[in-house]
Every structure is written in C-alpha cells, then in structure tokens.
C-alpha cells in the first residue's frame, strides 16, 4: 500500500528547523557581543591570574579596589599618580583618580541581558515545539510521524539544555 505524502508537515518541520537555527543564532550573538564588549572595555589590558591584578599596556598594575555586591562587580584601579603621569592617559581614561576596570562577578547567563537573550531563545524553541506538536496530531500516521517525532525530541533536548543554563548548572556557564 502506498502512503500519501503530506506537504504541510514537511513545511512545518522546515519552519521549526528555521526557528531552532534562529534561537541558536540569538544565543551565539548574545554571548559573542558580551565577550566583544568585555574585550573592548579591557582592550590592551591583561589579567594576571597568578597575582590577581590587571596590567595596563604600559605595565601599571590595577589592584582590586572594591567589591560591589549590589551591582555584582569587582573593581580594579590603577594608582592615580601612575595614570596622571602616563603619556597614554588621554587614550586610556579621563579620570584623575586612575583607570578603573569593572569585572562582573557573574557569568553572561546570569546577567540581565543574558537572561533576556535566553528567554527569547526559549520562547522561539517553544514556538517550534508547538508547531511540531500540532503537525504530529494533525498527521498521526504515515511517513511524516517518525521525522516529526525525531525533530520534537531534538527541540526538547535543546530546550532542556537552555533551561538548565538558566537554573545555574555550571556546565552551561560562560565566563568572561
């Protein structure tokens, strides 16, 4: 017996895959722009993990000066007299109190913008899952069912991974 082929489930699956790709692209863009902004802000500066301080391109050290638990940042400051006597000061800072670098205590995903991006990605995945579910119930037999079922499993696993990151599982955290 020859089964009839339905075009709607194929189109719905293609649309769901497009939504999955868009969700993945949003995740990548959010993380990429966060890392890029951090690199721009600390451009030329290096963090010395062995001594727990930042070092400017001219060799001055920025030591931890403040931990702001309300804003969830750690601030590192160079001595004012060092910066004020530096030839690179006009390109580096306009402060007479020394250059300050603020480092977030939390990884990207726990920041407000990170949670926003993740929420949008999850919403798009829920929409993809809803589209697939509707097509599964509309065409509950035939050769489309295994493909739609597999696609639903894939979307569900991706969604669970994204939710795990929101709940604080360390495997999904990205440090700055």
Interval 29-38 mean pLDDT: 83
Give the model confidence (pLDDT) of 78-101 as tens digits. Answer: 999 999 999 999 988 898 999 999
What DSSP line would sit under 105-140, residue for residue? SS-GGGSHHHHHHHHHHHHHHHHHHHHHHHHHHHS-
What is the C-alpha separation between 100 and 93, in angstroms, rounded?
8
Nearest Cα neighbor of 77 from 37, 35, 34, 45 is: 45
User: What is this structure's pTM?
Assistant: 0.66
Nearest Cα neighbor of 60 from 38, 44, 49 is: 44
């Amino acid at each position: 017996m020859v089964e009839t082929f339905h075009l709607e489930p194929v189109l719905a699956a293609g649309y769901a895959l497009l939504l999955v790709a868009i969700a993945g692209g949003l995740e990548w863009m959010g993380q990429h722009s966060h890392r890029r902004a951090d690199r721009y802000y600390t451009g030329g500066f290096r963090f010395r993990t062995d001594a727990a301080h930042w070092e400017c391109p001219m060799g001055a050290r920025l030591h931890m000066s403040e931990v702001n638990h309300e804003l969830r940042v750690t601030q590192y400051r160079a001595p004012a007299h060092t910066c004020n006597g530096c030839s690179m000061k006009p390109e580096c800072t306009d402060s007479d109190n020394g250059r300050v670098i603020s480092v977030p205590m939390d990884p990207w995903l726990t920041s407000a913008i990170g949670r926003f991006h993740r929420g949008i990605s999850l919403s798009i995945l829920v929409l993809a899952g809803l589209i697939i579910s509707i097509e599964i119930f509309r065409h509950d037999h035939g050769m489309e069912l295994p493909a739609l079922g597999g696609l639903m499993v894939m979307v569900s696993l991706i969604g669970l991974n994204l939710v795990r990151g929101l709940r604080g599982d360390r495997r999904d955290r990205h440090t700055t």
